[in-house]
């Protein structure tokens, strides 16, 4: 596939400089540019370099799951001794049940699980550049092979079906469909996902598709700065249209974007690897990204409706529950600021019609007001309040105070001007908010007791008319990557406790009137946790990265048992 690049901007390494050195002379301040005919292979060679390939490199037909693997563990976390006695946490609470139609699923995302990064015409994404060149990823790990889901999806879908899972939430790799992000379409990429979706349906699993889970086609970053440019809106829309037209009648839920707070937070992209494709000041870039993301999501929402797609379409938001660290007014205000700069950034425009005032105090000096048409377009463009609700944290005012921070752009906390922690002050014992996960996921603690309050807060604040979906929840078992015996890995008590208590917290919230529609656990299996690489594990299944074999962890059985106990037929 050959494509014309105008004003090629990224200089990752010396060989790229060669391409540019033939161009006309330029002034010191203007970037050197050229016009080239470039293939997908050229993009790989110039910007990424060699990639690894897997030893299993054709689609694997499923083989029967060994029956021994389907035997649930003994009740290790909630021991089943004391015959005849009631066992805490094991019995059924008759006042709890999930509403009719409630579904549960497991999740993954293209770059984290697929591997096969150069196979069948896929173009490089921003994350291929990040892992190979521009970011510090644990142990220099990459998604080149990942857990080889590209070839093992049939077996993986069979394995989740065997555990009673109802939905598989996965993302499409944009650069498999459009290797350059725009321009020519790669039919092989579409055919791959045809088969993934059809395999789900064959096993009675609802396919749920995230259109964008951070793996921006690299070319779009090179040519115009990705999400910092309004050009991204039409390119995203053209890509989304292909997906919606192809699978609109098969996919049971669409997510336009995964965690925009996270991927907009990648801007500005690392210096020295990407030439300046934008003049937007670094501090503003995430907010321009968010602005264009909202417009792209809203246009996609209405496009889907114009195509008569009835499946729910939502944005996956993110963030934990926020508690004031002390009862001081300053910490209470810090919590309000944190809601505004996190969930509210996108939830307010989508569910209430505009950015939160506390955010606008900062962004109104550079972002345009939404026009009345844009406001109407965006308001309501997410059917569910879809939330990746993992954990909780304490929030507090900066040491210098909120006002001092707000008037000092050099303050490292500016413009958010709140701080957060996982521990209480020493005067209150210095305790953690909940048991810590793996040291490489410092942000994550088991704080399941706060989930009902969290869900009430979402419902009361944004009042999503169709309810709430928990699109991700999960836990890393501390030091799991260091375990060498399979049975040690599969016995994951903290993750089992997390899922057990999390599901009970969901049930409590439902009993208290929260409109919860479904949930999806992260993750289907161990995978590449972005910059933490494979050093932390979120999987409900252990993956032997040498053989690519999968094994169910105890937590998967615990989760499945709870849904079996509390779902209505």
Question: Looking at the annotation, which residues are catalytic?
Answer: 259, 472
Measuring CA to CA, how many Å separate 256 from each of 211, 234, 259, 294, 381? 5, 14, 10, 10, 10
Report the residue number, 389 or 514, with the smaller CB distance to ligand NOJ: 389
Report the residue number, 3 or 127, with the smaller CB distance to ligand NOJ: 127
Instruction: Say whether residue 388 binds ligand NOJ (CB under 6 A).
Output: yes
Site for ligand NOJ in 142-181 (CB under 6 A): none
Give least dist CB 402 to ligand NOJ, A: 29
* Residue in 168, 227, 522, 542 binding ligand NOJ, rule: CB under 6 A: 522
Give least dist CB 524 to ligand NOJ, A: 11
Give least dist CB 452 to ligand NOJ, A: 21
| Site track 431-470 with ligand NOJ (rule: CB under 6 A), x = hit | ----------------------------------------
* Residue in 529, 542, 550, 566 binding ligand NOJ, rule: CB under 6 A: 529
* Residue in 38, 109, 218, 458 binding ligand NOJ, rule: CB under 6 A: 109
Which among 102, 99, 226, 206 has a CA at the least distance from the CA of 160? Answer: 206
Report the residue number, 182 or 520, with the smaller CB distance to ligand NOJ: 520
SS3 208: strand
Distance CA(452)–CA(450), nearest Å, equals 6
Instruction: Say whether residue 346 binds ligand NOJ (CB under 6 A).
Output: no
With a CB cutoff of 8 Å and minimum separation 6, the contacts of 568 are 97, 98, 99, 100, 102
Report the residue number, 325 or 446, with the smaller CB distance to ligand NOJ: 446
Report the residue number, 348 or 476, with the smaller CB distance to ligand NOJ: 476
Site for ligand NOJ in 124-143 (CB under 6 A): none
Distance CA(233)–CA(229), nearest Å, equals 8
* Residue in 156, 259, 526, 558 binding ligand NOJ, rule: CB under 6 A: 259
DSSP state of 395: E
Distance CA(186)–CA(2), nearest Å, equals 12
- The terminus-to-terminus CA distance of the chain in angstroms comes to 50
Instruction: Say whether residue 5 binds ligand NOJ (CB under 6 A).
Output: no
Report the residue number, 192 or 213, with the smaller CB distance to ligand NOJ: 213
Distance CA(309)–CA(520), nearest Å, equals 22
Report the residue number, 155 or 523, with the smaller CB distance to ligand NOJ: 523
Report the residue number, 542 or 566, with the smaller CB distance to ligand NOJ: 542
Which among 380, 218, 237 has a CA at the least distance from the CA of 312? Answer: 380
Which among 328, 351, 325, 355 has a CA at the least distance from the CA of 340? Answer: 355
With a CB cutoff of 8 Å and minimum separation 6, the contacts of 122 are 40, 116, 173, 175, 176, 179, 186, 189
Give least dist CB 124 to ligand NOJ, A: 19
Q: Are strands 392-396 and 419-421 parallel, antiparallel or unpaired?
A: antiparallel
Which among 524, 423, 420 has a CA at the least distance from the CA of 474? Answer: 524
Give least dist CB 538 to ligand NOJ, A: 6
**How many chain residues are in contact with ligand NOJ, going by CB under 6 A?**
9
Distance CA(276)–CA(21), nearest Å, equals 17
* Residue in 125, 258, 278, 520 binding ligand NOJ, rule: CB under 6 A: 258
Give least dist CB 213 to ligand NOJ, A: 6
Question: For residue 382, with 0-12 CB atoms within 10 Å meaning exposed, 13-18 middle and 19 or more buried, which class applies?
Answer: buried
Give least dist CB 312 to ligand NOJ, A: 18
Measuring CA to CA, how many Å separate 290 from each of 57, 230, 432, 564? 38, 11, 32, 39
With a CB cutoff of 8 Å and minimum separation 6, the contacts of 529 are 112, 440, 441, 476, 535, 536, 537, 538
Site for ligand NOJ in 176-235 (CB under 6 A): none
Site for ligand NOJ in 537-566 (CB under 6 A): 538
Give least dist CB 108 to ligand NOJ, A: 9
Give least dist CB 555 to ligand NOJ, A: 15
DSSP state of 472: E
* Residue in 472, 480, 526, 558 binding ligand NOJ, rule: CB under 6 A: 472
Which among 501, 500, 452, 493 has a CA at the least distance from the CA of 476? Answer: 493
Measuring CA to CA, how many Å separate 388 from each of 261, 420, 454? 11, 19, 12
Which among 362, 366, 325, 317 has a CA at the least distance from the CA of 342? Answer: 317
Report the residue number, 104 or 370, with the smaller CB distance to ligand NOJ: 104
Instruction: Say whether residue 266 binds ligand NOJ (CB under 6 A).
Output: no
Per CB under 6 A, residues contacting ligand NOJ are 109, 112, 258-259, 388, 472, 522, 529, 538
């Amino acid at each position: 596939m050959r494509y014309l690049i105008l004003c090629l901007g990224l200089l990752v390494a010396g060989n790229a400089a060669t391409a540019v050195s033939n161009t006309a002379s330029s002034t010191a301040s203007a970037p050197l540019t050229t016009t080239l005919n470039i293939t997908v292979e050229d993009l790989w060679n110039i910007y990424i370099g060699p990639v690894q390939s897997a030893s299993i490199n054709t689609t694997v037909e499923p083989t029967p799951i060994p029956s021994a693997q389907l035997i649930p563990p003994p009740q290790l976390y909630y021991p089943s001794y004391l015959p005849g006695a009631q066992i805490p946490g094991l019995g059924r609470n008759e006042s709890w049940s999930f509403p009719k139609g409630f579904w549960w699923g497991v999740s993954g995302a293209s770059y984290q699980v697929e591997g096969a990064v150069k196979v069948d015409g896929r173009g490089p994404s921003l994350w291929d550049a990040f892992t190979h060149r521009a970011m510090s990823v644990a142990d220099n790990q990459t998604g080149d092979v990942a857990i080889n889901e590209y070839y093992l999806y049939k077996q993986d879908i069979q394995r989740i079906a065997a555990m009673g899972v109802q939905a598989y939430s996965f993302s499409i790799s944009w650069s498999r469909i459009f290797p350059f992000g725009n321009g020519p379409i790669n039919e092989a990429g579409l055919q791959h996902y045809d088969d993934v979706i059809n395999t789900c349906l064959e096993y009675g699993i609802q396919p749920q598709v995230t259109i964008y889970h951070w793996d921006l086609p690299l070319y779009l970053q090179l040519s115009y700065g990705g999400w910092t440019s309004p050009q991204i809106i039409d390119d995203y829309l053209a890509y989304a249209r292909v997906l919606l037209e192809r699978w609109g009648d098969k996919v049971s839920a669409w997510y336009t974007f995964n965690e925009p707070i996270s991927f907009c937070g990648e801007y500005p992209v690392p210096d020295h690897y990407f030439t300046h494709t934008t003049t937007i000041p670094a501090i503003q870039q995430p907010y321009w990204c968010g602005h264009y993301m909202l417009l792209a999501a809203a246009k996609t929402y209405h496009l889907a409706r114009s195509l008569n797609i009835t499946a729910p379409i939502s944005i996956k938001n993110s963030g934990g529950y926020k508690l004031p660290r002390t009862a001081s007014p300053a910490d209470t205000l810090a919590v309000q600021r944190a809601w505004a700069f996190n969930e509210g950034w996108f939830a307010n425009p989508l569910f209430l019609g505009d950015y939160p005032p506390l955010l606008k105090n900062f962004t109104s000096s550079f972002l345009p007001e939404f026009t009345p048409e844009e406001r109407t377009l965006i308001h309501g463009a997410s059917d569910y309040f879809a939330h990746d609700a993992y954990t909780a944290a304490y929030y507090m005012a900066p040491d210098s105070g909120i006002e001092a921070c707000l008037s000092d752009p050099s303050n490292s906390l500016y413009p958010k001007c709140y701080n957060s922690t996982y521990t209480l002050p020493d005067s209150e014992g210095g305790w953690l908010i909940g048991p810590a996960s793996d040291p490489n996921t410092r942000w994550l603690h088991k704080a399941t007791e706060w989930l009902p309050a969290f869900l009430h807060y979402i419902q009361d604040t944004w009042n999503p008319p169709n309810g709430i979906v928990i699109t991700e929840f999960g836990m890393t078992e501390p030091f799991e990557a260091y375990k060498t015996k399979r049975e040690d890995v599969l016995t994951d008590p903290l993750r089992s406790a997390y899922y057990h208590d999390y599901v009970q917290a969901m049930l409590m919230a439902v009993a208290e009137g929260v409109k919860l529609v479904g949930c999806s656990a992260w993750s289907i299996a161990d995978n590449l946790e972005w910059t933490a690489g494979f050093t932390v594990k979120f999987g409900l299944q252990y993956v032997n990265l040498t053989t690519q074999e999968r094994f169910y962890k105890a937590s998967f059985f615990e989760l499945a048992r709870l849904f079996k106990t509390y779902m209505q037929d």
